[in-house]
């Protein structure tokens, strides 16, 4: 392997354990896998986003929150971190899959639940409703935000931390990332065919919150590198983690979408993925995911 490519492995594990304060070892219409490899990918994605966002788990100006809802908690790391950051709050974390740890802080509870079904919590109950990387998982966003508004306390917040799964090749890149962009396009088309959308933007998310009734909406935008090509150390570390997640998890992310839904042969998928892996390992390929944080407030009255 030449000088413009990268090897990963032990370095990623060391970095992951450093970023995460607690390492978690842990049939629906959900279009992504939830096996052990996918759980590792979720943990790595959490760690890389933590680095990109400067270690913050929430940007909304919370004041002594008592009830927090985490939708699509995955392996539960955000909920556990929130439980430690807000010790007086009860963190209710829900997901379709029971992949969360059995030991958690006493103020964190995990429930198997579908956020797209009718919510059974009290109205005007949560100080914060939090969602992270749910793009591609929700069919009816309008109904979800309508319910979130109903169950958020007056003066409480909703916060969305999302990724647009249409990668971008930075202007600094001398490798055009042709195969990577082909993969993004193919994944997006297959997801739409299955009734999901892997794309989002600050405008889309802001409009959802405005329509639901939230006010004082704020937007923050970040870039999550794929590979350690960025100048700043936190972004280089995040990029190394994200590269690891992509190299290890891209097959699981792609197989159902591209074979069962898009009709590709297994050989066609493997050929494309090999090209994508080669591009992303190239230090000259400056690919990244857009990351969008949007939060809004429910009016006091």
Residue 97, pLDDT score:
83
Closest CA to 244 of 21, 37, 32: 37
Contact of 189 with 262, CB cutoff 8 Å: yes
Domain-by-domain residue ranges, the chain? 10-297
Residues of the chain with pLDDT under 70: 1-38
* Dist. CA 102–CA 88, nearest whole Å: 21
Contact of 59 with 220, CB cutoff 8 Å: yes
Residue 26, pLDDT score:
33
Residues 151, 152, 155, CA angle at the centre, nearest 5°?
150
Closest CA to 37 of 292, 211, 254: 254
**pLDDT digit string (tens) for 239-268?**
999 999 899 889 988 999 999 999 999 999
Residue 301, pLDDT score:
78
Domain 10-297 classification at class level? alpha beta
Contact of 180 with 166, CB cutoff 8 Å: no
Residue 186, pLDDT score:
97
Residue 150, pLDDT score:
98
The pTM of the whole model exceeds 0.85 = yes
**pLDDT digit string (tens) for 47-73?**
999 999 999 999 999 999 999 999 999
Pairing of strands 168-169, 287-297: antiparallel
């Amino acid at each position: 392997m030449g000088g413009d490519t990268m090897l990963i492995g032990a370095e990623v594990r060391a970095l992951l354990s450093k970023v995460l304060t607690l390492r978690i070892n842990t049939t629906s219409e959900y279009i992504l896998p939830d096996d052990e490899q996918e759980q590792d990918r979720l943990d790595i994605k959490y760690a890389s986003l933590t680095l990109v966002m400067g270690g913050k788990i929430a940007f909304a100006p919370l004041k002594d929150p008592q009830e927090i809802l985490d939708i699509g908690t995955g392996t539960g790391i955000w909920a556990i971190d929130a439980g430690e950051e807000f010790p007086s709050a009860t963190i209710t974390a829900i997901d379709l899959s029971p992949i969360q740890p059995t030991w958690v802080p006493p103020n964190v509870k995990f429930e198997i639940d579908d956020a797209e079904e009718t919510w059974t919590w009290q109205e005007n109950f949560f100080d914060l409703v939090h969602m992270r990387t749910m793009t591609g998982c929700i069919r009816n966003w309008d109904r979800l935000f309508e319910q979130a508004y109903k169950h958020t306390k007056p003066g409480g917040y909703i916060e969305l931390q999302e990724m647009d799964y249409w990668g971008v090749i930075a202007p600094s890149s001398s490798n055009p990332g042709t195969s990577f962009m082909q993969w993004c396009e193919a994944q997006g088309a297959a997801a739409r065919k299955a009734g999901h959308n892997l794309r989002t933007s600050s405008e889309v998310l802001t409009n959802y919150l405005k329509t639901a009734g939230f006010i004082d909406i704020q937007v923050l935008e970040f870039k999550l590198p794929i590979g350690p090509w960025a100048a700043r150390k936190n972004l280089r570390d995040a990029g190394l983690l994200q590269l690891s997640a992509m190299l290890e998890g891209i097959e699981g992310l792609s197989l159902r979408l591209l074979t069962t839904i898009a009709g590709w042969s297994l050989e066609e998928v493997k050929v494309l993925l090999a090209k994508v892996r080669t591009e992303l390992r190239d230090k000259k390929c400056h690919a990244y995911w857009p990351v969008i944080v949007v939060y809004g407030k429910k009016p006091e009255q």
